[in-house]
Amino acid sequence: MKKYLKEINGETWLVEDERDNMKLYYRIKEVISSKESTFQKVDIIDSYDFGRCLVLDGVMQTTELDGYIYNEMISHIPVVTHKKPEKVLVIGGGDCGVVNELIKYKELKAIDMVEIDRLVVEESIKYIPSIAGDASKDERVNFVFDDGVNFVKNKYKYYDIAIVDSSDPVGPGEVLFSEDFYVSLRDCLKDDGMMVCQSQSPIFYKDVLKKTRGILKNHFPVVKTYKATVPSYPGGMWSFTLASLKYDPKDGDIQKLAKDTKYINNEIFKSCFSLPNFTKKDLELL
């Protein structure tokens, strides 16, 4: 058995090795599938409280209980902020939850999802349809199995929106937090384009959030961090950072926000940009 799947008193647990002084234990009903690709270990588990979950290298990625919170927040905010989005790029996003949100918008004409690991997509579609949904059947969605870093180097002023739905900055996801990558990503956006990334926990990984914002501020005129609570991500409170070449979310047309959502609504769209004082202080916004 993989080292993060542990038998304790006859029960199976996923033990997420979050940090030296904190481990997260999830009691598991069943390990549905346990495989390994050239990039990472890929597990689908059925847990008691979080339902079916995607786990990469022992780290919880998305769960049936709360995955929609993250997926809605990283996708609806840029689509509503952009005045006329048509072409969207998703980097990572293997569980397909993000593209499943994007297809709710008829105005989007093409959605390219560039995922390094085909196995993650296959396993998610097969075993967690409640998250992957019908995105793979939508003709606007085009899957590309490649390293996101390579892919963006060959596109110039092409996309309206880029969404970086990466795993943590370790393993294959590490490069997706580098300045070189963000510069290439900016260059693949049209003159009024924007990007959004998950910028980690503002409590446990404030260094990642600060660094990410610092890099983005060097290359984009509008940089806004927003937050949501995602119980399965360590610390609960999670941050996203939107970097835009023209549009500001404060001018977004919230009337076009999709109605078939479970978390985001007009009030959340406005309030998610309000940050607590400790984060404002960390980000030198106070």
Binding site for ligand SAM (CB under 6 A): 56, 61-62, 70, 91-95, 114-117, 120, 147-149, 165-167, 172-173, 175-176, 198
Encoding tokens for residue 6? 């542990």
Residue with Cβ nearer ligand SAM (94 or 252): 94
Encoding tokens for residue 23? 């481990």
Q: How far is CA 285 from CA 200, 228, 280, 282, in A?
A: 18, 19, 5, 8
Contact between 204 and 235 (Cβ < 8 Å) = yes
- Please tell me the distance from the alpha carbon of residue 120 to that of residue 14, in angstroms, as a whole number: 18
Residue with Cβ nearer ligand SAM (143 or 247): 143
**Residues 189, 191, 197, 199: what is their CA dihedral angle, to the nearest 10 degrees?**
140
Closest approach, Cβ 255 to ligand SAM, in A, equals: 27
Catalytic residue among 43, 66, 112, 165: 165
Residue with Cβ nearer ligand SAM (2 or 246): 2
Question: Any catalytic annotation for residue 112?
Answer: no
Residue with Cβ nearer ligand SAM (200 or 247): 200
Closest approach, Cβ 117 to ligand SAM, in A, equals: 4
Residue 88: closest CA among 77, 97, 80, 79: 79
Closest approach, Cβ 124 to ligand SAM, in A, equals: 8
Residue with Cβ nearer ligand SAM (39 or 269): 39
DSSP class of 84: S
- Please tell me the distance from the alpha carbon of residue 14 to that of residue 273, in angstroms, as a whole number: 33
How far apart are the two ends of the chain, measured CA to CA in Å? 49
Greatest Cα pair distance, the chain, in angstroms, is 58
Closest approach, Cβ 133 to ligand SAM, in A, equals: 15
Closest approach, Cβ 173 to ligand SAM, in A, equals: 4
Contact between 79 and 106 (Cβ < 8 Å) = no
Contact between 244 and 194 (Cβ < 8 Å) = yes
> Residue 273: how many CB atoms within 10 A of its CB?
14
Residues with a catalytic annotation lie at: 165
